[in-house]
Structure 1
Amino acid sequence: MAHYRKPIAAAVGLNTGIFAVEAVAGYQASSLSLIMDSFHNLSDELALVCLYLAFIVARGPSQKLLRSANLFNSVGLIAVSGLLLWQAVERLWNPVPVHGVVPIVVGLAAAAANWGVARLLLEPSRNNAAIRLAYIHNMGDVWVSLAPVVAGVLLLLTSYSFFDSLIAGTIAVWIIVTTGREVFESHEELIWPEKIVCGHPDHAESRAAES
């Protein structure tokens, strides 16, 4: 298990950087689409941190603790998304000037960084189902991070700042719907597939993967 720790730790660090840069840049540029994507990346932190913990603790953190953490993470993400959705709707009626170049540059950087996270997880994902899930998720995040880029391009082409709010609202609705569905469908696992808790497969599966 030790050979999994280094790439996962690097992925956690890079993902933290994505969140921080998008949050600061989004706030400075008044870009809700960047702020929305930053919180989406923040939600990935718990998954990656739990994945790392599962490989440094002999038998992994307790399932009860991890399920509670996953539940609070999901509920928190839905709550924040709801708040930002409300802000996006409010901005549609009362537009706020947005610096269009910022979401383009930072969004492209975030997409590249998410691809980097996925690349860090690619090799260990070949032999571990839990890391494979994280890899697939971060590959999907590459496309989500391009949403602020689209908002910035439309803003520069039309000078209408409501595009930023519209795309931010779309991301918020997508996060609320997909997160809610995962929580509902996962039941006891709470957003993790059967036999995987916080990125850690059951011991039988782990032994099979190692052999």
Structure 2
Amino acid sequence: MEKSQLSGGRFFAVTVLNVVITVFEFIGGLLSGSLSLLSDAFHNFGDALSIVLSYAAHRIGGRQQTRTNTYGYRRAEILAALLNALVLVVVCVILAVEAVRRLWHPEHVQGTVMLGVAVISFIANLVSTILLNHGAKHNLNIRATYLHLLSDALASVGVILGALMITFWQIEWVDPVITILVGSYIAWESWPIIKQTLGILMEASPDLDYDAIAHDIEQLPEVEGVHHLHAWQIDENNIIFSVHVNMDNLPLDRIEPIYRQIETLLCRKYNVNHVTIQAECHRGEHESLFYDQNDWRHE
């Protein structure tokens, strides 16, 4: 499946499904008095907005580089993923507060209405989740939206179980309890996305074995040392890498093949996409692998 196929018809189909589910659950929640149904309706409304945001960021992220954005626009998808995950957590907190209030002040719930709406909602959420399943494996932005939909499907299962307990055993306190449990799970699953997106935006180094990288580069012919190594990510799939390399005083036509060897090594073994190399003879040869602003005294 190509990226363009995923970003077009499937995004549109998922958006329409979520809008329909939102209206259906909102009406069902009002008629049944179920907090978990109403919470799921608001959750689905947030999902519809999330999908639109995700689609817009997906399209923006596919734009070509420009003079003002030489690395392109892929960070738009990271921003969308962060916003989607944060919205999920905020919604979960709000619903948990309301659920606790209902535990102390129970309200009557019509289990049969709640059950029918929950079953239909579960089927629709499951279809939406399947539509975005493939893209979630390769794109952090789509993964955040996929998590929204997966959490809705899970919430619908919880609502179904709660509706059965209310219908057959009149255990009405289960409605807010399910809301709290599902919300806790959603917040827990959102945290890794928040952590990863913040790391990318703060230009944290990707998880690579830097000592092994330095060792592999130093094993190449003519390379004497490695220092001032930097690595960061544009998005979860594209790693940018720069490094200073000490080598003998060689003419340019002999240095370029060494550059190609380093680039090939980093690409094939460490999945680095973009490499910038600065060759030096003795400058920085005593400096650390990672840049230290105090290293200037050695120059």
1:143 aligns to what SS in structure 2? Answer: helix
Classify 1:9/1:196 alpha carbon distance in 2 versus 1 (closer, same or farther; 3 Å): farther
Q: Work out whether residues 121 and 134 of structure 1, in 8 Å CA contact, stay in contact via their aligned partners in 2.
A: no
Which letter does structure 2 place at the counterpart of 1:44?
Answer: D
Corresponding residue for 1:209? none
Q: Provide the TM-score with structure 1 as the length reference.
A: 0.73
Which amino acid counterpart does residue 59 of structure 1 have in structure 2? R
Cα distance in 1 for partners of 2:155, 2:58 equals 28
Aligned to 1:17: 20
Residue 140 of structure 1, CA deviation: 6.1
Would you say the 8 A contact 1:46–1:70 is kept in 2? no
Picking from 56, 61, 67, the partner of 1:53 is 56
Give the aligned residue type for 1:155: I
Aligned AA for 1:3? Q
Q: What is the CA deviation profile of residues 124-177 of structure 1, one whole-angstrom value per residue up to 9, with x for unaligned ones?
A: x38x82398479644564333111111111011221311111111212222233
The aligned amino acid for 2:12 is A
Counterpart code for 1:188:
G
Aligned with 1:38 (options 37, 41, 51): 41
Q: How many residues align?
A: 198
What are the superposed Cα offsets for residues 113-132 of structure 1, whole Å, 9 maximum, x if unpaired?
A: 0122134346xx38x82398
TM-score (norm 2): 0.54
- The one-letter amino acid paired with 2:63 is R
Which of 107, 111, 124 does residue 100 from structure 1 map onto?
A: 111
CA displacement at 1:109 relative to structure 2: 0.7
Deviation at 1:98, TM superposition (A): 0.9
Matched, 1:3 2:14: no
Across the aligned residues of Structure 1 and Structure 2, the Cα RMSD in angstroms comes to: 3.7
Q: Secondary structure at the match of 1:145?
A: helix
Shift of 1:8: 1.8
Which of 183, 199, 213 is residue 172 of structure 1 equivalent to? Answer: 183
Say which SS state the counterpart of residue 108 (structure 2) adopts: coil
| Equivalent residue number for residue 208 of structure 1 | none
Please tell me whether the aligned partners of residues 118 and 135 of structure 1 are also in contact (alpha carbons under 8 angstroms).
Answer: no
Structure 1 unmatched ranges of 5 or more: 206-211
Deviation digits for residues 47-96 of structure 1 (CA, Å, limit 9, x no counterpart) = 43244325544518945555444444433332332222111111111111
- The answer as to 2:97 corresponding to 1:118 is no
Greater relative contact order: 1 or 2 (C-alpha under 8 angstroms, separation 6 or more)? 1
Structure 2 counterpart of 1:83: 94
Identity %: 25
**Structure with more of its chain in helix, by fraction:** 1
- Whether contact under 8 Å (1:46, 1:73) holds in the other structure is no
Corresponding residue for 2:255?
A: none
Cα distance in 2 between the residues matched to 1:148 and 1:21 = 14
Q: Does 1:145 align with 2:147?
A: no
Q: Are 2:36 and 1:26 aligned?
A: no
- In the alignment, the residues of structure 1 paired with residue 51 and residue 164 of structure 2 have an alpha-carbon distance, to the nearest angstrom, of 31
Q: Which ranges of structure 2 fall in alignment gaps of 5 or more residues?
A: 65-71, 207-232, 239-270, 272-299
Describe the shift of the 1:51–1:108 C-alpha distance in structure 2 as closer, same or farther (beyond 3 A). same
Instruction: Name the stretch that deviates more: 140-149 or 87-96.
Output: 140-149
1:183 aligns with 2:186: no
